Structure 1
Amino acid sequence: MHPFVSKAALASAFCLVMQGATAQNKASLTDPAQMKTLLQKSVFDIDTSAKAVIIYEKGWFESFESAPVYKLERIVKIIGKDAVDDFARISVPASKRSLVRKVTGETYNLENGEIVKQSVEKADLIKEKITANTRVTKFALPGVKTGSVVHYVYQIDNTGYGLPSWDFQNSYPTLYSEYEINIPTILKYSSVSNTSVPFKEVTRQRSLEDCNACLYNSANGNLGRQTSIWVRRNIPAFRTEPFMSADANYLERVKPTVTSLEYPGYQFLLDNWEHATENVYYKNDESCGQVFKGNAFLLDPVNQIIAGKNGDLEKAKAIYAFVRDHITLKEESFNDYKALSDISEVYKRKEGNSEGINLLLIAMLRKASLEAEPVVLATRASERLHSFIVDINAIDYMIGIVKIGGQDYVLDASDKYMPFGTLPLSCYNGYCRIVSKKPDAVELHPDGLTDKTTTIVSLAPVKDKLLLKVEQKLGNVSGTLLRNELKEDTAKLKEKIQKGLSKLSTPLQLKQYSVNSLKNADLPLVIRYEAELPWNADKDLVYLDPYFDKLCEQNPFTLTTRKFPIELGYLSDNKYVFNFQVPEGYEVDDYPKSSVLKLSQEGLMQLKNTLVYDAENKTFSINCHFNQKTTVYTADNYNQVRTFYDNVIAEQKKKIVLKKNTPAQVH
């Protein structure tokens, strides 16, 4: 998460004293007999096909007397060679301000009936810079192979503010998983868990030793300390599936969140979204608070931009285009974060991070007397926000919203190829919060985003060839994606067209191409090209593939079964028009019949194919329309979705058959 705000009030409460914990699952580390049994074991009842099993893992988060600290310990049994690389090298990402230390690790192997232990050396630790604000500590566990048992521990000091979530579920099955937090009693918090087995709250810590899913809470008023411990046993492996949102939405996990900081004479509330957005964003002059100031330095520039513009919508579009086209997105570092998010500096330097650029946009819109406000959200890479759970730590992006004529327009000026009123796909992740004097919420659901594309294809004989002409008008989504892919390089476009032509059943030679509005994101992106298809007039029968732009070449849904819903990023509305002038001396002998393919009676997905042959004028045409009504399909509907796409592919593989006229048929 970007440090949108300086959470000084929370910082004063977060401090740490680490304390140990024991569990029966760790006994193999100190008992040679148990370790030997574990090393010899290759099949576990929890998953007989597992390539590795997590025997024990525990996370600690404590904050009491110094900076907040997180610690992790894990014991893993390696069963198959596919899992060796996952545990032979461990990477620990952390922010620039954090410190990874107290790294230990051991590998246990059974050689000639004896247990051999190898340890990580200090010299094995490697630290790398991943981004301006992210570092990763790497270490290799020596001698890891099939049959090994590995054990490693690390600690992260100064983890930042907020209570980390804990995932009980991993990509490998887990026998025992525990999470413990120790924090001051002046911090009030709530927690939300997502598990297949509900947590049972117990009153004695010893009760955790034999439960499947238990929670233990305790508080010591004299020490000003409170502890919570969650324990889960026998958790199946998590399998990520294509076309789903962030894993965090489905993993078995627990998410504790701070609701308030309270001590005599002071109260900092985060118990609901209204309080959270007010205290963390609206009142924060280093973040959203900037846009609600006077910002007199923007008066003259804004007046120049909107001069001669008629109506609020034209003014908003002009301001948006100015910020998008003149302010450069720059990767931030911890040292220059403030400058890149300070709107006066962003305007002066003509560069900023995404937050700074969008805050400048909002401030300029407000200077033009438009009703514009910041919106904070969690992108699709993060867990979705919920109206009933305040989770400031999940927020990782900021956009703008402007209300004009009773309509809301969402804006992100940090992407130079983004049209007015459109956002990156990652932003359409449900519940978001509007930051204002009267805070409100807005839903950004993928169902509200439709990508409309139209492809018109003509094919006609020219001398001894068939000339193919294609005009493709891309929608806002596909146009933005292509602009970002090409980066205004038309040579890349040529390669892309040629690659598409090479996939066709009949070879085509590209003759010319052009593109309109590649640099202007506010206009539709239109691609035109011509290609030649060899024509042999000596053949009695010719099989022609009329679908030069197929919906898909292969079924995108390859899994035989599915556990989680299908979640697409946007709605598709694709039109394909094909007009064919039949060459002299030939007629259409056979062609596919018109059809309508539907997913469910409601037509949640639909492909309508209308095919017409005009024998008198010797023309053949296809009008194909594919559209979707929703972006979410339940796992129960998965087989229907797969079958629908199988049918679409089969339909678009059908060919038209041209038959050479016999001499008697020639008029």
Structure 2
Amino acid sequence: MKKKVLIIISLFSFLICFSQKKKSSKIGNASIEELKMVRYENDSTANAIVLYEHANHYLDEKRDYNRTTDYYFRIKILKKAGFNKATIRIPSYGKEKVHHIKGITYNLNQGDRIKKTHLISKNIFTKKLNEKWKEITFTMPALKVGSIIEYVYSVTTPYSQMDDWLFQSDIPKVKSDFTASILGNWKYNIRVIGFLPLTTNQFNVDKNCVYIPAMGKGACALLAYGIENIPAFKEEKHMLSAKNFKSRLVFDLESYRHPSQGIEKYTKTWRDADKRLKNNFLDKQTSKKNYFKKQLPSTIFNSTSELNKAKAIFSFIKNHYTWNGDYWPSAKVRIKKAFTNKFGNIFDINLSLYNSLKAAEIETYLILTSTRDRAMPTKLHPVINEFNYLLVKIVIDNKEYYLDASKKQLPFGLVQFQALNGDGRLLNFKKGSVWEPIKLNNKAFKTIKVKLNLSEEETTASIKISTKSYYAVNKRARIQSKSEDEYIESFESNYPFLEVDTFKVENLNQVAKNLNETYTVTLEDVYRDGVFYINPFLITQHTRNPFKLKKRDYPVDFGYPSENTYIFSMQIPEGYKLKKELNNKTVILPNNGGKYLITTKVYNTTMTLFCKISINKSVYTSQEYHALKEFFNHIIKSQDVILEMVKE
């Protein structure tokens, strides 16, 4: 949530040229040609399309010289699946006012006559979300496939923060424009996010836009940005937040020049930001090592090995706390209180870890980052509220470790998957903070061994699953959240052709060790009409490619490298033979990006299959996307097999 800074300008009598307001788009622009459109040539799959949208931002003399943004939207509904675009939700913060809401739905009558249905005020609703936010909603009337909906509204705000303008969304757009007139004493850092080029990019200065009695004339920055023929942004698996890639404008307030009191800076240097982080954001909670030295068992400090000492401290803090599910502190950080309550957010827990490690005289740093559901923090300048996660880094014998004590299932040297969101900002309050990649060097492993026992009466199997790193973290969390019966039921629902007879788990709470699961199962519907039908990829078959786009402009981000090994063996029953053996296959990704290997072997009456999928990188570029997509196509095709055993 963006911080809001209140503007106070009522001290002055402004005589302003308000020509900017005239640039706002007016309602009433649907045409017969647009109504006759039945599909969008650039994207035949589109359910709806934005024909035109425009936001115009200016100082509003009729509303106490607060800032107003007039919004205009005209959208064509192409399919029933696009009806959701007719329900509009407008968030409103604090003292913001949403006003001048108007809407028209256009349809074609017989004889190509346009019928207009107006939005009526009684169908506009306001809902309070919490103490700070409310939401205004309305649904456009008389909706049909082929309708055009057109609506406008204005938002007036006393705050200085300008909202992002999203050029790109989940439906295509013909044209999207943003215009603004900003008083010269307000300075913003304007960022253009995304891969689409601007078709309009204008910046001009009107030196006579403001006249202040007894002070003279003032200038305004006149902005105009636009993009045409905007494709829909299509999300896919294994990506960071879409906010990193959707084309949009971002406005970061840098400074305000007061006519008589000088310049107030909001976007500061990193040196200024470090001071603010330490004193305000972290609320001076980085200097509590003496307190934690008294709280930790004295035996921890007796170890002569720094690494063993660090592991003991990590284990103590992790087991002492229960994470409350919050990332960002809702109030000032108070780690003594949180430690006493044994309950806290990410900052409480990892600041406690930081201070405890400092008490043990281990080289320790804090790293700020953000979760994967948020945009990666910009590196251009400090925007503190873009961070919402805190990690700890230690250096022992020139080796770096990244720590996160927030979840019981996390081993030493691993952090929550949600915290893997690009580089982090390492805080060094003496030398200055720096950006650095978070390199865990911790590949996720999974090994599955299946041994099948075929019989005309009953077919059984033993299944052993061993996981490490993130695979084990996720599996431990699932097992611990359910009873044993619930977990078995969940397993059987995922594999409905199996019935679990016995289940055993090892190292559930020993997170430094591999998590081992052992099942004995009975298979259903394997023997029919004198033939055994076996899917050798019993519980690991890939059936869907996660990558389906023709082109993906943004990276594939798995978060971590992985290795999956599958070993299958079975004894061919006496009097039977394998009708057809499987083909061996090897697929290698370019630049040592990964490898897929499948080999089969039949020796006497034993058939063995070995399969390994290696994903060697955490992130693959958009240029590597096609190769990765084909890599998974090969996996799916090679695993789409059924073994048949017939009588000799």
Change (3 A) 1:517 1:392: same
Query: What are the superposed Cα offsets for residues 302-338 of structure 1, whole Å, 9 maximum, x if unpaired?
Result: 244725555333333333333333333336699x922
In structure 1, what is the equivalent of residue 460 of structure 2? 467
Matches within 5 A, 1:308-319: 309=303, 311-319=305-313
* Other-structure match for 1:642: 629
| Structure 2 Cα separation of the partners of residues 463 and 141 of structure 1 | 64
Task: Determine helix, strand or coil for the equivalent of 1:430.
Answer: coil
Question: Shift of residue 193 of structure 1?
Answer: 2.1
TM-score by length of 2: 0.82
* Equivalent residue pairs, number: 624
How far did 1:498 drift? Answer: 0.8
| Residue matched to 2:235 | 241
Which residue identity does 2:360 align to in structure 1?
A
Counterpart code for 2:271: H
User: Which residue identity does 1:628 align to in structure 2?
Assistant: I
| 1:161-194 per-position Cα deviation (integer Å, ceiling 9, x unaligned) | 7554322223330424114263562x54433324
What does residue 101 of structure 2 align with? Answer: 104
Structure 1 stretch displaced more, 364-373 or 220-229: 220-229
Q: Is the 8 A contact 2:559 2:618 kept in 1?
A: yes
Match of 2:519 in 1: 529
Distance 1:99 1:144 in 2: 30
Alignment of 1:382 with 2:374, yes or no, is yes
Q: What's the CA shift for 1:362?
A: 1.8
Question: Per-residue deviation at 1:59?
Answer: 5.0
Matched residue, 1:499: 493
Distance 1:277 1:24, change over 3 A: closer
SS in 2 for 1:241: coil
Partner of residue 564 from structure 2, selected from 570, 574, 579: 574
1:322-379 CA-partner distances (Å, limit 9, x unpaired): 3333333336699x9225x321222233322222332232223223322323211233
User: What residue in structure 1 maps to residue 190 of structure 2?
Assistant: 191
Q: Tell me whether 1:152 sits opposite 2:152 in the alignment.
A: yes
Residue 42 of structure 1 pairs with residue 37 of structure 2: yes
Cα distance, 1:433 vs. partner? 0.5
Report the alpha carbon displacement of residue 469 of structure 1 after superposing the two structures with TM. 0.9
Shift of 1:649: 1.8
CA separation of 1:580/1:362 partners in 2, compared to 1, >3 Å: closer, same or farther? Answer: same
Match of 1:253 in 2: 248
- 1:273-422 equivalences under 5 Å are 274-275=270-271, 277-284=273-280, 287-294=281-288, 296-304=290-298, 306=300, 309=303, 311-330=305-324, 337-338=330-331, 341-422=333-414
Alignment CA distance shift 1:109-1:197 (3 Å): closer
CA distance in structure 2 between the partners assigned to 1:599 and 1:511 by the alignment:
40
Shift of 1:72: 4.9
In structure 1, what is the equivalent of residue 221 of structure 2? Answer: 227
- 1:58 is aligned to 55
Q: Distance in 2 between matches of 1:421 and 1:550?
A: 28
CA displacement at 1:473 relative to structure 2: 1.3
Show the counterpart of 2:125. Answer: 125
The superposition leaves residues 98-145 of structure 1 with CA deviations (integer Å, 9 ceiling, x where unpaired) of 645326232243576465452342673231437x97654433344444
1:555 corresponding residue in structure 2: 545
Residues 652 and 332 of structure 1: is their aligned pair in 2 closer, same or farther, counting only changes over 3 Å? Answer: closer
Specify the SS of the correspondent of 2:251: strand
Assess if the C-alpha contact under 8 Å between 2:195 and 2:247 holds in 1: yes
- Equivalent residues in 2 for 1:585-624, closer than 5 Å: 585-588=575-578, 590-600=580-590, 602-615=591-604, 618-624=605-611
CA contact (8 A) 1:379 1:426 kept: yes
**Distance change in 2, residues 1:194/1:265 (3 Å):** closer
1:435-514 residue pairs with structure 2 within 5 A?
Answer: 435-437=427-429, 438-444=431-437, 450-460=443-453, 464-489=457-482, 490-502=484-496, 507-514=497-504
Task: Provide the C-alpha distance between the structure 2 equivalents of 1:226 and 1:318, rounded to a whole number of angstroms.
Answer: 60
Q: Distance in 2 between matches of 1:278 and 1:189?
A: 21
Contact map agreement 1:238 1:251 (CA 8 A) in 2: no
The residue number in structure 2 matching 1:182 is 182
Q: Distance in 2 between matches of 1:147 and 1:298?
A: 65
**Equivalent position SS for 1:472:** strand
Distance 2:310 2:369 in 1: 22
Distance 2:219 2:442 in 1: 48
CA distance in 1, matches of 2:309, 2:60: 50
Q: State the distance in 1 between where 2:179 and 2:480 align.
A: 46
**1:288 corresponds to which letter in structure 2?**
L
Name which of 204, 207, 210 aligns with 1:216. 204
CA contact 2:368–2:425 (8 Å) conserved in 1:
yes
Query: Where does structure 2 lack aligned partners over 5 or more consecutive residues?
Result: none
Match of 1:80 in 2: 78
Q: Distance in 2 between matches of 1:120 and 1:249?
A: 37
Task: Give ranges in structure 1 of 5+ residues lacking alignment.
Answer: 4-9, 200-210, 662-667
Separation (CA, whole Å) in 2 of partners of 1:445 and 1:528? 34
Greater CA deviation, 421-430 or 461-470?
A: 461-470
Q: CA RMSD in A?
A: 4.0
Whole-Å separation in 2 of the counterparts to 1:121 and 1:293: 57
Distance in 2 (CA, whole Å) between partners of 1:387 and 1:326 is 35
1:105–1:152 contact (8 Å) kept in structure 2:
yes
Deviates more, 1:319-328 or 1:429-438: 319-328
Q: Give the letter for the 1:644 counterpart.
A: F
1:567 partner letter? D
The code of the aligned residue for 1:650 comes to: K
CA contact (8 A) 2:117 2:142 kept: no
Hey, what's the Cα distance between the residues in 2 that align with 1:314 and 1:109?
A: 71
Of residues 611, 630, 641, the one that matches 2:617 is 630
Whole-angstrom CA distance in 2 between matches of 1:230 and 1:412:
45
**SS of 1:292's equivalent?**
coil
How big is the shift at 1:73?
Answer: 0.8
Q: Give the Å deviation of 1:281.
A: 0.8
Contact 2:107/2:116 (<8 A) preserved: yes
| Structure-1 separation of matches of 2:30 and 2:117 | 11
